[in-house]
Amino acid sequence: MRKLIVLAGFALLAAGCGSGSSGMTADGKVLLRYGLWDTNQKPVYQKCADAFQKQNPNIQIQIENKNWGDYWSGLARGFIAETSPDVFTDHLSKYPQFATSQVIEPVNTSGIDMSQYLPGLARLWKSPTGKQYGFPKDWDTVALVVNEDMLAKSGISRQQLDTATWNPKDGGTFQQIVAKLTVDNNGKRGDEPGFDPKHVKTYGLGFDPGGLTYGQTTWAGFAASLGFKLLNKNPWGTQYNYDDPRFAQTFTWWRNMIQKGYMPSLEQARTLGQSAAFQSGRAALAIDGDWTISTYSGTKGIKVGYAPQPAGPQGSWSMYNGLADAIWVGTKHKPEAVKWVRFLGSPACQSIVGNAAVVFPAIKSEVPKAVAAHKKQGVDVSAYTSYIKSGHTVLYPITDKAPQINLIVQPTLEEFLNGTKPASEVFPKMNDQVNAQLEYSTQ
Amino acid sequence: MANTLSPGTAELAGAEPPRVRHKQGIRWGRIAAWTAMGLLIFISLFPFYWMLRTALSTNSDLVTGDQSLVPPNPTLLNLKQALGLASPEQLAAAGTQTSADVNFFIALRNSIIVCTLITLGQVTFCSMSAYAFARLKFPGRDKIFFLFLTAMMIPPIFTLIPNFVLIKNLGWLNTFPGIIAPFFLMTPFAIFFLRQFFLGISTEVEEAALLDGAGRWKIFRQLIIPMMAAPLATLAVLTYVTAWHEYMWPLVTGDSANVRVLTVALNAFKSSTPTTAPPWGPLMAATFLAALPLLIMFVAMAKRMVDAIGFSGIK
Could you tell me which chain A residue has the CA closest to the CA of B100? A66
The 10s digit of each residue's pLDDT in A273-328 is: 898 889 889 999 999 999 889 889 888 888 999 999 999 999 999 999 999 999 99
Substitution target from B59, B120, B183, B275 for chain A, most A beta carbons within 10 A: B275
Residues of A in contact with B97 (CB under 8 A): 39-40, 295
The 10s digit of each residue's pLDDT in A94-115 is: 999 899 889 999 999 888 899 9
Q: What local confidence, expressed as pLDDT, does residue B59 receive?
A: 80
B85 in contact with A, Cβ within 8 Å? no
Q: Cβ contact (<8 Å) for A37 and B272?
A: yes
* A211-250 residues touching B, CB cutoff 8 A: 211, 217
- A15 falls in which pLDDT band (50, 70, 90)? very low
| Mean model confidence pLDDT for chain B | 83
Q: What local confidence, expressed as pLDDT, does residue B14 receive?
A: 44
Per-residue H/E/C for chain A: CHHHHHHHHHHHHHHHHHCCCCCECCCCCEEEEEEECCHHHHHHHHHHHHHHHHHCCCEEEEEEECCHHHHHHHHHHHHHHCCCCCEEEECCCCHHHHHHCCCEECECCCCCCHHHECCCCHHHHECCCCCECCCEEEEECEEEEEEHHHHHHCCCCHHHHHCCECCCCCCHHHHHHHHHHCEECCCCECCCCCCCCCCEEEEEECCCCCCCCCCCCCCHHHHHCCCCCCECCCCCCCCECCCCHHHHHHHHHHHHHHHCCCCCCHHHHHHHCHHHHHHCCCEEEEEEEHHHHHHHHCCCCCCEEEECCCEECCECCEEEEEEEEEEECCCCCHHHHHHHHHHHCCHHHHHHHHHHCCCEECEHHHHHHHHHHHHHCCCCCHHHHHHHHHCCEEECCCCCCHHHHHHHHHHHHHHHHHCCCCHHHHHHHHHHHHHHHHHHHCC
Q: What local confidence, expressed as pLDDT, does residue B187 receive?
A: 86
CA distances from residue B290 to A153, A192, B96, B270, B294 in whole angstroms, order as listed: 45, 49, 19, 16, 8
Q: What local confidence, expressed as pLDDT, does residue A39 receive?
A: 79
Q: What local confidence, expressed as pLDDT, does residue A400 receive?
A: 87
Higher per-residue confidence, A287 vs A41: A287
For residue B196, is pLDDT > 90?
Answer: no
- B22 falls in which pLDDT band (50, 70, 90)? low
For residue A128, is pLDDT > 50?
Answer: yes
B174 in contact with A, Cβ within 8 Å? yes
The 10s digit of each residue's pLDDT in B203-233 is: 888 888 889 888 888 989 888 888 888 888 8
- By the 8 A CB rule, do B136 and B216 touch? yes
Please tell me the distance in Å from A168's CA to the nearest CA on chain B. 24
- The count of C-alpha atoms lying within 13 angstroms of the C-alpha of A351, restricted to the half-sphere facing its C-beta, is 5
Residues of A in contact with B63 (CB under 8 A): 272-273, 276-277, 279-280, 282
B280 C-beta neighbours (distance < 10 Å), count? 21
Q: What local confidence, expressed as pLDDT, does residue B19 receive?
A: 54
- A70 falls in which pLDDT band (50, 70, 90)? confident
Task: Summarize the confidence of residues B99-110 as an average pLDDT.
Answer: 85
For residue B10, is pLDDT > 50?
Answer: no
- B121 falls in which pLDDT band (50, 70, 90)? very high
Residues of B in contact with A40 (CB under 8 A): 97
ipTM of the complex as predicted? 0.72
- A16 falls in which pLDDT band (50, 70, 90)? very low
Q: What local confidence, expressed as pLDDT, does residue A324 receive?
A: 94
Please tell me the distance in Å from B10's CA to the nearest CA on chain A. 43
Q: Using alpha carbons only, how large is chain B's radius of gyration in Å?
A: 25
For residue A9, is pLDDT > 70?
Answer: no
- B239 falls in which pLDDT band (50, 70, 90)? very high
Q: What local confidence, expressed as pLDDT, does residue B223 receive?
A: 87
A197 in contact with B, Cβ within 8 Å? no
- By the 8 A CB rule, do A326 and A95 touch? yes
CA distances from residue B120 to A27, A394, B241 in whole angstroms, order as listed: 38, 60, 13
Q: What local confidence, expressed as pLDDT, does residue B11 receive?
A: 45
- A4 falls in which pLDDT band (50, 70, 90)? very low
Q: Which residues on neighbouring strands pair with residue A36, listed in sequence order?
A: A65
For residue B15, is pLDDT > 60?
Answer: no
* B15-54 residues touching A, CB cutoff 8 A: none
For residue B307, is pLDDT > 80?
Answer: no
- By the 8 A CB rule, do A172 and A310 touch? yes
* B242-271 residues touching A, CB cutoff 8 A: 251-256, 258-259, 267-271
Which amino acid would we find at residue B4?
Answer: T
Residues of B in contact with A80 (CB under 8 A): 168
- In 3D space, the residue among A60, A15, A65, A6 whose CA is nearest the CA of residue A36 turns out to be A65
CB-based contacts of A170: which residues, under 8 Å, 6+ apart?
Answer: none
Of the candidates B59, B177, B275, the beta carbon closest to that of A11 is on: B177
A270 in contact with B, Cβ within 8 Å? yes
Task: Summarize the confidence of residues A48-72 as an average pLDDT.
Answer: 91
Cα(B159)–Cα(B79) distance, integer angstroms: 37
Q: What local confidence, expressed as pLDDT, does residue A87 receive?
A: 96
| Mean model confidence pLDDT for chain A | 90
For residue B23, is pLDDT > 60?
Answer: no
Of the candidates A15, A21, A273, the beta carbon closest to that of B276 is on: A273
Higher per-residue confidence, B29 vs A337: A337
A193 in contact with B, Cβ within 8 Å? no
A440 in contact with B, Cβ within 8 Å? no
CA distances from residue B233 to A2, A61, A254, B67, B188 in whole angstroms, order as listed: 20, 48, 59, 41, 17
The 10s digit of each residue's pLDDT in A205-232 is: 999 988 899 999 999 999 999 999 999 9
The 10s digit of each residue's pLDDT in B129-170 is: 999 999 888 999 999 999 888 888 888 888 898 999 999 999
| Whole-number percent of chain B with pLDDT over 90 | 34
Please tell me the distance in Å from B5's CA to the nearest CA on chain A. 37
Q: Which of A132-146, B6-20, B114-128, B237-251 has the lowest mean pLDDT?
A: B6-20
Q: Cβ contact (<8 Å) for B95 and A275?
A: yes
Could you tell me which chain B residue has the CA closest to the CA of A286? B275
Q: Cβ contact (<8 Å) for B256 and A83?
A: yes
Q: Cβ contact (<8 Å) for A65 and B100?
A: yes
Q: What local confidence, expressed as pLDDT, does residue B314 receive?
A: 40
CA distances from residue A247 to A261, A414, A426, A431 in whole angstroms, order as listed: 22, 15, 12, 11
Q: What local confidence, expressed as pLDDT, does residue A165 receive?
A: 96
Residues of B in contact with A270 (CB under 8 A): 277
Widest Cα–Cα separation across chain A: 83
* B93-112 residues touching A, CB cutoff 8 A: 93, 95, 97-101
Per-residue H/E/C for chain B: CHHHHHHHHHHHHHHCCCCCCCCCCHHHHHHHHHHHHHHHHHHHHHHHHHHHHHHCCCHHHHHCCCCCCCCCCCCCHHHHHHCCCCCHHHHHHHCCCCCCCCCHHHHHHHHHHHHHHHHHHHHHHHHHHHHHHHHCCCCCHHHHHHHHHHHHHCCHHHHHHHHHHHHHHHCCCCCHHHHHHHHHCCCHHHHHHHHHHHHHCCHHHHHHHHHCCCCHHHHHHHHHHHHCHHHHHHHHHHHHHHHHHCCHHHHHHCCCCCCCCHHHHHHHHCCCCCCCCCCHHHHHHHHHHHHHHHHHHHHHHHHHHHHHHHHHHHC
Q: What local confidence, expressed as pLDDT, does residue A22 receive?
A: 55
Q: What local confidence, expressed as pLDDT, does residue B234 receive?
A: 85
The 10s digit of each residue's pLDDT in B42-51 is: 999 999 999 9
For residue B12, is pLDDT > 50?
Answer: no
* Cis amide linkage into residue A235, ω under 30° from 0: yes
Task: Summarize the confidence of residues A30-36 as an average pLDDT.
Answer: 93
Could you tell me which chain A residue has the CA closest to the CA of B60? A280
Q: Cβ contact (<8 Å) for A298 and B93?
A: yes
